[in-house]
Amino acid sequence: MNIFNILKEVEKVDPEIFDRLDPRRAVFKHFGGFGKKLAAAAIPVAFGSMLNKAYGQTSSPSVREVLEFALLLENLEYHFYLKAAATNIFPAPAGKTAFGVIRDHEKAHVDFLRTAISGLGGAAPTTYTDANFDWTADGLLGNATFTDYPTMLAVAQAFEDTGVRAYKGAAPALITNDTVLQAALQIHSVEARHAAHLRRMRRDMMPNGVANLKPWITMKDRGGLPAAFQGIYDGEEATTQASVNLVGTFNGIAIDANAASEAFDEPLTVAQVNAIVAPFIA
């Protein structure tokens, strides 16, 4: 993972990223030396905190920033499914058909977002190609992403569950633009449908299905995904919403912590999503 490439990618989304990191930009220059001294494993954390600093101190991102961020994620998904649906490692035709359906949705989302961004005026939306992405996840997955069926499904689930949380985190920033907000919600629920189906596919996978995996997220269980993907699920264990504790017995029906956590999906910040997808950005 080259953190400067990531920042360059973010700069495409947010031209002011460096100014956000530090208005004088001097601190960022120091980060070069800072980064080299960090253990590789600590870089995502440091990067996340940098982005937190960058975005946490400012007001909500603009509509354009949110749409460009979504465009990056949709391109990541689209280029993944473009390759995945073209493989012949599916044990049954239904799986390949499902991947084709999802691929087409992600392509539609890319096109929709590009149109929406163009409609805002200003610079043209960013164009992505397969070369923008690292399907080894910075070496973590080797060449398994498109050659090993369980790995391919795991990556798909990771992208879908992340996508759901990313849109959820972005939605409140769009509250001033009814049209864009509704469209974002309409994409968001499609991503959730995809996520549910991917989880179902992994549950029912033959011969080694992921036992007890559900279409919904139980606590912060990552469902057998690599530990490096835990960030996709951290925070999902919430059982209290807006100060309402949902664990209890209501009209004779007991709601335990598992059910209370499943009933609500949780948002991720831009910084958290960036930290999750960073290994997949070339």
Partner 1 sequence: MTKQTNPIPEQDVLQGLKNPLNRRSFLQYTGAGVAASALLLAGCDDDDDMGGNNMPGAVNLGSGDVGILNYAYALEQLEAAFYTAVVALPNFSTLFTSAVERQVLTDIRNHEVAHREFFKAAITSTAANQIIPSLTPVLPPSALASRASILATAKTFEDLGVAAYNGAGKLLTSATFLGIAGKIVSVEARHAAEIRDMIENGTFASGSAGITTGNIVDANGLDVALTPAQVLAAAQPFIKETINASNLPTT
Contacts with partner 1 by CB under 8 A lie at 94, 97-98, 101-102, 104-109, 111-112, 164, 167-168, 171-172, 175, 178, 181-183, 185-197, 200, 203, 214-216, 241-244, 246, 248, 250-253, 255, 259-260, 262-267
Nearer to partner 1, 7 or 71 (CB): 71
CB of 260 to partner 1, least distance (A): 6
Nearer to partner 1, 15 or 248 (CB): 248
Distance CA 257, CA 235 (A): 13
Nearer to partner 1, 31 or 90 (CB): 90
CB of 97 to partner 1, least distance (A): 6
Nearer to partner 1, 141 or 201 (CB): 201
State the Cα torsion 191-197-203-206 to the nearest 10°.
Answer: -130
CB of 93 to partner 1, least distance (A): 10
Nearer to partner 1, 143 or 240 (CB): 240
Q: Is 23 helix (H, G, I), strand (E, B) or coil?
A: coil
CB of 45 to partner 1, least distance (A): 25
CB of 3 to partner 1, least distance (A): 30
Task: Name beta bridge partners: 281.
Answer: 133
Distance CA 228, CA 231 (A): 7
Tokens representing 148 are 């090993």
Q: Are 232 and 13 in contact (CB under 8 A)?
A: no
Nearer to partner 1, 9 or 77 (CB): 77
Q: Are 227 and 169 in contact (CB under 8 A)?
A: no
Distance CA 153, CA 200 (A): 10
- The CA distances from residue 61 to 17, 122, 276, in Å, are 11, 16, 19
Nearer to partner 1, 127 or 245 (CB): 245
CB of 251 to partner 1, least distance (A): 4
Query: What are phi and psi for residue 4, nearest 5 degrees?
Result: -75, -30
CB of 10 to partner 1, least distance (A): 24
CB of 41 to partner 1, least distance (A): 30
Nearer to partner 1, 123 or 263 (CB): 263
Tokens representing 49 are 């905190």
Angle at the Cα of 15 from the Cα atoms of 28 and 117, rounded to 5 degrees: 155
CA max distance for the chain: 61
3-state DSSP of 122-157:
CCCCCCCCHHHECCCCCCCCCCHHHCCHHHHHHHHH
